[in-house]
Amino acid sequence: MTLHRSHVLVCSGSNCALHSSSFVKDRLTLEISQAGLGDEIRVLETGCFGLCAQGPIMVVYPEGIHYCKVGLEDIGEIVQEHLLKGRIVNRLLFKGTSDKNWMTKDDFDFYRKQERVVLRNAGVIDPENIEESLVRGGYAAFGKALSEMTPSQVIQEITDSGLQGRGGAGFPTGRKWQFTQEAAGDKKYVVCNADEGEPGTSKDRLILEGDPHTIIEGMLIAGYAIGATQGFVYIRGEYLLSIERLQKAINQAREFGLLGKGILGSDFEFDLEIRSGAGAYVCGEETALLNSIEGKRGEPRFKPPYPAVRGLWQKPTLINNVETLANIGPIIQNGSDWFRQIGTPECPGTKVFTLSGNICNSGLIEVPMGMTLREIIYDIGGGIPDGHQFKMAQTGGTSGGCISADLLDVPMDIPSLAKAGTALGSGALLVVDDRHCVVDLAKTFLRFFAHESCGQCTPCREGTTVLLRLMNKLASGKGDAQDITNLQRLSTTMQQASLCGLGQTAPLPILSALTFFADEFHAHLEGQGCPAGVCG
């Protein structure tokens, strides 16, 4: 065995990769070996730390020193000063909004206020090494389920945990598993939804990149519970690193006898395949996704029958989101009571949010359900940059609602946000400051829906186009009160009559913006122009 005195973890998540983290890693490896430290120091790539605005991020163990925005020109100093002489390079530490230097992850609120269940291994392990996953408890929950629990006991545990789907709709996971288990069928399937089409969301991608084995484990447990022998992971095609990492992980799991026939010496059989999507937003909708896997056009199907009864090739199919599946291992391993201690009684567990927009620490965070929007934006997110004021937040992505500063203390969980007239959705959180116009934003959201509507049903196909036309008219200052009435009536029709969630939720950003920012809409009517000075 070789013992390294230091491990240097370089983030290789997609957001840091955009800041050239792979060059940073290569240069670091080179300079370490030139300094003769190659045998003592191990350099490895790891998943997302979450502080993406500060990337590339590097953490040096055993001290746990956390460096930000590391450029190629900084590597020499890190090697000569820190790795050789043990002197911390202060100028690369995280500064936050204060003058204080933050040394390790435990020092700053961004990490301290988080609770990592889903992201427990991201930024800690080498995601391409199954052994590191095993050390951190990977596949232990599956081993427990297979050797100590019946399928029904597994489902009971998930039901008791109160886990709700993290893909957007928030359906109770245990019940969905039970329906699929009870459905009659000679063959059943488990599908992982990693399409992640919601603008401003990258959590599923970063979970897959940081810890692919946790998804395989979640699907294995699901397969055992519902009686499936085959699983598919539907990943959007642009997610190259997710696909590559997951494929490596699948290969390793097969080598270890964790996928295939006779798993771990039992008679349980399960295997996985990756299918990549071509980037249509609607293909994230579960029945469109099933059509896409079957090689058909990615158009939603009528529901019912639900996929649990008739899914892939008409067989009972369980579809869960990446983040939902990442919760399964910890729940089985630690029990539903443990899970219920996190979050709120109505909505247990954690939620991963993608922070974007006008916020200092944009990136990926995981917090207990029920943390207030204020805490997320100001304590973890570091507030609004450049002295601007908070104006609104859009929760739940493009199909979520826009809420104003009056709602900063809303608990961020599924029922509380639904009550507030918006949605938690997949956990996109777009923060907007006072320089932006709500009408202009709503127009932008509609352009997205008009583009992404699959055109299969009339309320959505025509509705999104007409809504966009109305919004364009309003934004240009040519609208009148009748247009607003029409906007509301058409929205209601779409919510009630559209075939799938896309058309049903497309009006939500407009309706919520109309509720919270009525004055701003009316200002656009009365010929006062755009108060924020954006439209024109």
Partner 1 sequence: MKSLDELKAIRERAQQALKMRESGDGVVVQVAMGTCGIAAGARGVMMALLDELVLRKRSDVFVTQTGCAGLCEKEPIVTVKVPGKSDVVYGGVTDQKARDIVGSHIINGQIVSDYVLNIKEA
Ligand X SMILES: Cc1cc2nc3c(=O)[nH]c(=O)nc-3n(C[C@H](O)[C@H](O)[C@H](O)COP(=O)(O)O)c2cc1C
Using CB under 6 A as the criterion, which residues of the chain lie in contact with ligand SF4 when the complex forms? 282, 300, 453-457, 460-461, 498-500, 502-503
The smaller minimum CB distance to partner 1, of residues 135 and 481, is found at 135
What crossing angle do the helices spanning 212-226 and 173-182 adopt, rounded to 10°?
Answer: 50
Coil, helix or strand for 511? helix
Is position 165 an interface residue for ligand X (rule: CB under 6 A)?
yes
The Cα–Cα gap between 10 and 25 comes to: 6
Is position 320 an interface residue for ligand X (rule: CB under 6 A)?
yes
Element (DSSP H or E) covering residue 141: helix 140-148
The smaller minimum CB distance to ligand SF4, of residues 455 and 529, is found at 455
The Cα–Cα gap between 107 and 114 comes to: 12
Is position 454 an interface residue for ligand X (rule: CB under 6 A)?
no
Is position 179 an interface residue for partner 1 (rule: CB under 8 A)?
no
State the CB neighbour count (10 A cutoff) for residue 419: 10
The smaller minimum CB distance to partner 1, of residues 131 and 409, is found at 131
Residue 338: name its binding partner from partner 1, ligand SF4, ligand X, none (Cβ under 5 to 8 Å by kind): none
Element (DSSP H or E) covering residue 432: strand 428-433
The smaller minimum CB distance to ligand SF4, of residues 396 and 507, is found at 507
Residue 252 CB, nearest approach to partner 1 (Å): 11
Residue 167: name its binding partner from ligand X, partner 1, ligand SF4, none (Cβ under 5 to 8 Å by kind): ligand X
Site string for ligand X, 176-215 (x = CB under 6 A): -----------------x-xxxx-----------------
User: What backbone phi and psi angles, to 5 degrees, belong to 326?
Assistant: -70, -20
Cβ partners under 8 Å of residue 225, min gap 6? 145, 151, 154, 155, 158, 177, 181
First to last CA, the chain: 68
Is position 120 an interface residue for ligand X (rule: CB under 6 A)?
no
- Ordered DSSP codes for 90-128: GGGBB-TTSSPPB-BGGGSHHHHT---STTSSTTTS-TT
Give residues 264-303 in contact with partner 1 (rule: CB under 8 A).
Answer: 264-265
Which of 68, 72, 89, 134 is in the footprint of partner 1 by CB under 8 A? 134
Is position 136 an interface residue for partner 1 (rule: CB under 8 A)?
yes
Residue 88 CB, nearest approach to partner 1 (Å): 10
Q: Any idea which residue has 């288990």 for tokens?
A: 181
- Contact status, residue 519 vs residue 407, Cβ threshold 8 Å: no
The Cα–Cα gap between 47 and 56 comes to: 12
The smaller minimum CB distance to ligand SF4, of residues 74 and 452, is found at 452
430 forms bridges with which residues in the sheet?
Answer: 356, 394
Which of 166, 188, 245, 524 is in the footprint of ligand X by CB under 6 A? 166
Is position 110 an interface residue for partner 1 (rule: CB under 8 A)?
no
The smaller minimum CB distance to ligand SF4, of residues 136 and 303, is found at 303
The smaller minimum CB distance to partner 1, of residues 17 and 145, is found at 145
Token pair for 432? 């907007």
Site string for partner 1, 23-62 (x = CB under 8 A): -----------------x--------------------xx
Residue 193: name its binding partner from partner 1, ligand SF4, ligand X, none (Cβ under 5 to 8 Å by kind): ligand X
Three-state helix/strand/coil letters over 300-352 = CCCCCCCCCCCCHHHCCEEEEEHHHHHHHHHHHHHCHHHHHCCECCCCECEEE
Element (DSSP H or E) covering residue 475: helix 458-475
Element (DSSP H or E) covering residue 429: strand 428-433
Residue 181 CB, nearest approach to ligand X (Å): 15
**What number of chain residues touch partner 1 (CB under 8 A)?**
36
> Measured at the alpha carbon of residue 132, what is the angle toward residues 129 and 137, in degrees to the nearest 5?
130
Coil, helix or strand for 353? strand
Burial (0-12, 13-18, 19+ Cβ within 10 Å), 116: middle
Site string for ligand X, 45-84 (x = CB under 6 A): ----------------------------------------
Which of 48, 70, 78, 124 is in the footprint of partner 1 by CB under 8 A? 124
| Binding segment (CB under 6 A) for ligand X, from list 48-56, 81-89, 241-249, 500-508 | 500-508
Residue 189 CB, nearest approach to ligand X (Å): 14
Question: How many residues does the structure list for the chain?
Answer: 536
| Binding segment (CB under 6 A) for ligand X, from list 137-145, 374-382, 443-451, 496-504 | 496-504
Which residues in this chain contact partner 1 in the complex, by CB under 8 A? 1-7, 9, 40, 61-64, 84-87, 104, 106, 124-125, 131-132, 134-136, 139-140, 143, 147, 256-258, 262, 264-265
Which residues in this chain contact ligand X in the complex, by CB under 6 A? 165-169, 171, 193, 195-198, 281-282, 284-286, 319-321, 324, 500-502
